[in-house]
Amino acid sequence: MRLADWFVMCGALAFVVLYGLWRGRGSNSVNKYLLAGRTMPWHAMALSIMATQASAVTFISTTGQSYVDGMRFVQFYFGLPVAMVILSMTAVPIFHRANVYTAYEYLEQRFDTRTRALVSAIFLIQRGLALGITLFAPAVVLTVILGWPMRQTTLIMGAVAVLYTTLGGAKTVAWSDFQQIMVMTAGLVAALVAAVLLLPGSVTFPDAVALAGAAGRLNAVTLNLDWNDRYNLWSGLIGGAFLALSYFGCDQSQVQRYLTGKSIAQSRLSLLFNGMAKVPMQFFILFIGAMVFVFYIFERPPLLFERTELARIQQPAMQSEYRPLEDRYNQAFENRRAAADRLLQARHSGDTGRWQEELRAYQSAQQEFDAARRDGVSLVERAGGTKGLVDTNYIFLTFVTRHLPAGLVGLVMAVIFGATMASISGEMNSLATVTMVDFYKRHFRRAAPDHHYLNVSRAATVFWGCYAVVTSQFANRLGSLVEAVNVLGSFFYGGMLGVFVLAFYFPRVRARGAFYGVLAGEAVIFAAYFFTKIAFLWFNVIGCLVVVATGVLISRLESSRA
């Protein structure tokens, strides 16, 4: 990065953090530190919720996902608006009226301590692991830009995040998120405009859209019902709705955001805003990836975007295999570019028959290009590198660092780093809350001064920061980060959602049914993962239904014996 980039990035991040710390001053009690004194307006909560989701994973991996697989990932969010309406009518008023710090406190009120402890533990496991993935994403940025070792970069980012979160509390997190969304919006718009402007002068924006569509990169909706397909309309509407219900209704990192609201109405507005804004936001981010794909039709991309593995196959010992592959790859690139030029000429001519002929040639050239990249991955494996390498996470970063002008690179980097800070701070805050409220205060020291619990909350924040640094060392093996974090959540969210459905809608279900229902749901989810090829979004549906069915059955058996 150049001096202007460092200036823009550091200036933007400093403004966001200092503004948040200024707005969050006075968080000297547990209530203020964990729930911002329940004083937050709807717009601050809404943007904080969005920022907590929009980690660096969103910008780094989602754009890369669109580059290699098109925009069909957007279907993942189609069920979210439905979930937001349901939660606004159910979870928001229930949690507010219960006057709880965590969603899991309510489970003890409704069932028993054992059920609360089980679900709290599930949350800590899945959110703690996801935190490591979230931390890994910006470490990828620093590694690509500065060439620092991955372990060093995760340690630096983890330390900064812990310091920021420990000092601030929920109010600082929310107001920093509010400003960060503004920076994110500016950075994303700038990245899209730059991708379009960097295209050859003869390629217009409609031409770019046509090329992306012809290569299958604008496939936003897939209508076929395929249980093994991760992203189609039905898995998004149904599985995505269940995942969103779980994430926003059962995951403390999201529940805590709207528990800070000054009223039920304000919290409802924050969720409904996300229901309206999330799908367009994700569509926009995926579209950026599609435009980056078009840019690389005319600008030769590297054979592999992961520089370390590319260097591995470029070493002298591999030249006998690498050189022929490189020549083939370069030829495939030239063939694709020539095919794209002919396709655009056919488009401008208005000749439908010629368009269809050139379209087939263009798609064939794309397949040859993709095949050369796949052979590059195979060569990495033969050279002793990562098996099944997925370099999705490096695509957008390569485009930004190599092709954007000075200053704009810094702005995009500020977006990525700031998004990570927003997401990590919110997740650490929620993990510390559950650790202190649901475990320490409930099981170890039930009566202590408020400042004692405040110090415990801060200590818990430090612990989870260290935990994130350790688990992030393994994230590089997970492929596409945006998929990895959602697959991980789907292992647990179905079970968590099921027990809250029992709590809200089945008044006759007892504690034993709820507890064993969660265990049964988790067992079935992991069985589906290991023994079937069902797409992960359906895990949320399966787990929830199994929990509900088991809980109802056990409770009825108990009632019949009484």
pLDDT computed for residue 358 by the predictor? 93
Position 25 pLDDT exceeds 70: no
**Residue 109: pLDDT band with limits 50, 70, 90:** very high
Distance in angstroms (rounded) separating the CA atoms of residues 362 and 224:
25
Radius of gyration of the chain (CA): 25
**Residue 168: pLDDT band with limits 50, 70, 90:** low
First vs last C-alpha separation in the chain: 72
**What pLDDT, in 10s, does the model give residues 340-375?**
999 999 999 888 888 999 999 999 999 999 999 999
Question: Residue 40 forms beta bridges with which residues?
Answer: 261
pLDDT computed for residue 424 by the predictor? 78
Q: Yes or no: is domain 3-20+38-297+399-561 CATH 1.20.1730.10? A: yes
**Residue 495: pLDDT band with limits 50, 70, 90:** very high
**Residue 179: pLDDT band with limits 50, 70, 90:** confident
**At residue 362, what are phi and psi to the nearest 5 degrees?**
-65, -45
**What pLDDT, in 10s, does the model give residues 29-81?**
787 777 777 888 888 888 777 776 666 666 777 888 888 888 888 887 888 89
Distance in angstroms (rounded) separating the CA atoms of residues 64 and 360:
25
Position 11 pLDDT exceeds 70: yes
Place of tokens 């330390």: 159
**What pLDDT, in 10s, does the model give residues 433-459?**
999 999 999 989 888 888 899 899 889
pLDDT computed for residue 211 by the predictor? 94
Mean pLDDT score across all residues of the chain: 85
pLDDT computed for residue 542 by the predictor? 93
Asked if 417 contacts 138 with a C-beta cutoff of 8 angstroms, the reply is yes
Q: How much of the chain exceeds pLDDT 70, in percent?
A: 90
**Residue 8: pLDDT band with limits 50, 70, 90:** confident
Give residues with Cβ within 8 angstroms of 444, minimum separation 6: none
The residue extents of the domains of the chain are 3-20+38-297+399-561, 307-388
Asked if 135 contacts 56 with a C-beta cutoff of 8 angstroms, the reply is no
pLDDT computed for residue 545 by the predictor? 95
**Residue 236: pLDDT band with limits 50, 70, 90:** confident
pLDDT computed for residue 142 by the predictor? 66
Distance in angstroms (rounded) separating the CA atoms of residues 400 and 414:
12
Task: Name the token pair of 296.
Answer: 């690389």
**What pLDDT, in 10s, does the model give residues 502-518?**
999 999 999 999 999 99
Distance in angstroms (rounded) separating the CA atoms of residues 110 and 420:
35
Position 274 pLDDT exceeds 90: no
Position 479 pLDDT exceeds 60: no
pLDDT computed for residue 123 by the predictor? 92
Asked if 261 contacts 430 with a C-beta cutoff of 8 angstroms, the reply is no
pLDDT computed for residue 35 by the predictor? 75
